[in-house]
Chain A
Amino acid sequence: MKKNYNFNINPKPLSSEEIRQHQDFDALFAKFQEQEQKPEVAAPTPRRNNVRWLTVAGLAAAASLALVLMLRVGNTLPYEERNAAFFADRPFVEEPLLQVPKPILASYPIDAEEGGILEYESGSRLIIPAAAFHDTKGQPVQGEVAIHYREMHDFVDFFLSGIPMVYDSAGVSYNLESAGMIEIYAEQNGQRVRMAPGKSIDVELVSSLSTPHLNVPPNFNIYHLDTVGRKWVYQNIDRIQVLQDEAATLPGNHPALSAQQALMNSLDGIQAQEKALMEQLTLENPAPLEPLRPRRHNGTDFVFDLDLQGLDAAQNTYQGTFWQLSPNSSVTEQQLNQAWDNFHLTQINNRDYQLSLLNEQQTLTVIVNPVLSGADYDRALAEYEQEYAAYRQAMATWEAQIEALRTERSSDLQTQREGAYQKFQEAMKTLADNGASIDASTPLFNRKIVNRFQADRLGIWNCDRPLAPHMIQMKAKLVDERGQAIKNQTVFLVDRGRNTIQEFVAGEDMEIRFDLHATNMMWLVTEDQKIAIYRSEDFKQLKADEQNYTFVMEKVNRPLQNEQDVRDVLQF
């Protein structure tokens, strides 16, 4: 019998690096241009024994263009351009440590037609509207959808994710300092779904900012990652709400410790007064009530209806409503199933009602939930959408009104706050005058915040601000512990006071930018998937007037199996 195929069982795997060695767009483009000029020449076919056929032939034939390009890339391009070209040739999102498992995203089931509110372990919330998803054909998604969600907060998260933190604006490249990043996507039966046009998820991302000074107002934007266009795309201004200010943990001998504690004590007292003021204001000016999101009856649980004849307002509100016992109720169907003369219904929260049933013999009190079905549910959902939009508008008005009142009535507290800051600044100045060495990039305070924005599509969202590249620039040569030069590898650099990560390509005439007075650390991933570091204490030895420096990267011979291993190696 004739043999038709060569079966290659358990083939040798190819690395991405091996494949990249063959990748050369400039040569291909030159070949394309050459053919465009000679359309009568048939398209070439590969020849088995001519290994470098296309690359060599292409370069030779189009030397005027491609060779010049290659030479420029190789030698004469400024470092910044070579750096940009290096990363342009890499996958846009490139996880650096392949053996570290991908993070497991939290998964929440949700009824696509109803939407819902999801709460993450950090305290963050996602408010998903009804009918928020479409399938790939543009049809509304019905039934259960799984929402997958994760948060990324610090440089280790950014490093492991492989997500670039660079933002280009008007030809200038900025690093993005993050106040929190999220990834969110939705699936039904393993297939991705997308946001329906006009729908958006309200995101309340709880995060924290490390800040040397509390009186600097945070000013961040919202960006969405465009993985096809390979860029962050500005979306809006981040509406940040400060939840709490906390003192950062400082070592016991830190010179700023007592000034920090004194400021925090003053601020705690002021915050307590502000809290009391806000309670008073909201008592005098109640917030608008959030409308009740209708729930659909699941078709199986026991339900009953209430005779609302003669109660016009209630009849309108609860038209078509069935009631089901709260899941935690200890009352049985049999206890309910008798004649009742009267009832009292009191709303407890957005979900629960207290129902008291009365007859001559007894009073039975149960917690019940309203549910709807069929057209009644559809009608209630449509009404709810309208009411919720009105509610959001009313909330915005209410918040503005409360803020105006708060500003008006808290001028004394503001004066106290400014006084506390002034005392703190004076204490810091005294320390500096007395020669205390205080690392400017060490955060003295943590500000717990909530970033609020609307996500009108799924994917990766980031609350950031672009950092101006005003730091020191130095020509760097990276070598391993044997003195061998390191080339064409991604190098990561972090400043502890800035929540971002910089990336450079190692090689000849490498230039790195950093703040000499900050606490910095630099590392790269070795070929055997370990980390080689240039530590923060070594950075401190660098002098401002040094133009060229050789950085000896110290390889950490510790296996990196998970995120914690990486955190242990990169802690500083």
Chain B
Amino acid sequence: MRPSSSEEDMQQEWLEIQAAQKDRAQFRPLYQRYYEPVFRFIYKRTADQSLSADICSVVFLKAMERLDRYTFQGVPFSAWLFRIASNEVAQHFRKNQRNRVVSAEEYHFKDLVEEMDEDWAQDLLPNLISHLDQLKEKDLVLIEMRFFEKRPFKEIAEILEITESNAKVRTYRILDRLKKKILENS
């Protein structure tokens, strides 16, 4: 059994956040709860354990600094942390002028192709990756969270600060474009 993020839990967590807003030493339980998920989030985008540790530290430091600005609006605290993490990762790669990493299991690509109502074939993989590589960051993020990290649209929307329906519409438009390009090349 893992703790759920039910509304009741979020309300309870909001009390913890309020306590940490008054006294940052009270941030400890939030740090302990979310360190691993945030670390994994970053690691998938860096594939480098040491770099992930560094960025993760900055993420939590910024979270502590900005905690007074956080207000509870029915969105899990984790989404707020992932948002900071996402920005920090993007900033790091921008500064260093390097390409960021996109981590995925091979079967994730199969799921992606099947979502386009197409049959999977191993030789599709290079073609698909080359088209994914040409996506804008804001589009790739949606595909990454939905298909490579299997996040529900609700959570994606919370992290990206968009509506759930907007997340769905945008994702399926990207899929349509990808499908057309793949069919053109096949």
Contacts and interface: CB of A to CB of B under 8 A. Distances in A.
Interface of A: 1, 3-11, 14, 16, 18-20, 22-23, 25, 28-29, 31-33, 35, 43-48, 50-51, 53-55, 88-89, 91-93, 95, 102, 136, 138, 161-163, 183, 185, 192, 194, 226-230, 457-458, 460
B129 A45 contact: no
B28 A7 contact: no
B82 interface: no
A161 B2 CA distance: 9
* Most A CB within 10 A of own CB, among B6, B51, B56: B6
B90 interface: no
B43 A22 contact: no
A39 B83 CA distance: 24
B91 to A, nearest CB: 7
Interface string B78-89: 000000000000
13 contacts: A8-B101, A8-B102, A10-B106, A19-B35, A28-B57, A31-B57, A31-B61, A44-B58, A54-B53, A136-B7, A226-B12, A228-B13, A229-B16
B1 A163 contact: yes
B65 interface: yes
B49 interface: yes
Identify the 7 closest CB pairs spanning chains A and B, nearest first. Answer: A46-B54, A227-B3, A22-B53, A54-B57, A228-B12, A51-B50, A8-B103
A35 to B, nearest CB: 7
Contact of A228 (B3, B24, B130, B132): B3
B1 A162 contact: yes
Given A11-B103, A54-B53, 17 more contacts: A3-B133, A6-B47, A6-B102, A7-B129, A8-B101, A8-B103, A9-B106, A11-B47, A19-B35, A19-B36, A25-B27, A46-B51, A46-B58, A54-B54, A88-B28, A138-B7, A460-B1
Interface in B101-152: 101-106, 129-130, 132-135, 140
A25 B31 contact: yes
A458 B9 CA distance: 11
Nearest to A89: B32
Chief secondary structure at chain A's binding surface: loop
B92 A45 contact: yes
Contacts of B31: 23, 25, 28
Contacts of B4: 185, 192, 227
A266 B25 CA distance: 62
A93 B2 contact: yes
Contacts of A48: 51, 54, 96
Contacts of A228: 3, 9, 12-13, 16
B44 A95 contact: no
Nearest to A226: B12
Interface in B1-48: 1-4, 6-9, 12-13, 16, 24-25, 27-29, 31-33, 35-36, 39-40, 43-44, 47
A35 B96 CA distance: 25
Contacts of A9: 104-106
Nearest to B58: A46
B8 A457 contact: yes
A23 B31 CA distance: 9
Given A46-B57, A46-B58, A1 B24 contact: no
A50 B54 contact: yes
Contact of B56 (A5, A22, A163): A22
A228 B10 CA distance: 8
A43 B88 CA distance: 12
Contact of B32 (A4, A45, A54, A88): A88
B55 interface: yes
B99 interface: yes
Nearest to B136: A4
A5 B51 contact: no
B1 A183 contact: yes
Contacts of B92: 45-46
B36 A7 contact: no
Contacts of A138: 7
B64 interface: yes
Contact of B7 (A35, A44, A93, A194): A194
B55 to A, nearest CB: 5
Contacts of B132: 5, 7
Contacts of A19: 35-36, 39-40
A4 B61 contact: no
A33 B24 CA distance: 9
Contacts of B24: 29, 32-33
A349 to B, nearest CB: 37
Contact of A43 (B54, B58, B104): B58
B184 to A, nearest CB: 15
Given A6-B102, A7-B104, A7-B133, A22 B12 contact: no
Residue picked from B1, B35, B100, B129, most chain A C-beta under 10 Å: B1
B99 A4 contact: yes
B62 interface: yes
B182 to A, nearest CB: 16
A46 B106 CA distance: 31
Contact of B6 (A10, A32, A43, A192): A192
B145 to A, nearest CB: 14
A89 B28 CA distance: 9
Contact of A194 (B1, B8, B25): B8
A5 B102 contact: yes
Nearest to A105: B1
Given A7-B129, A102-B1, A43 B65 contact: yes
Nearest to A227: B3
Given A5-B101, A32-B24, A18 B49 contact: yes
A226 B65 CA distance: 27
A28 B99 contact: no
B95 interface: yes
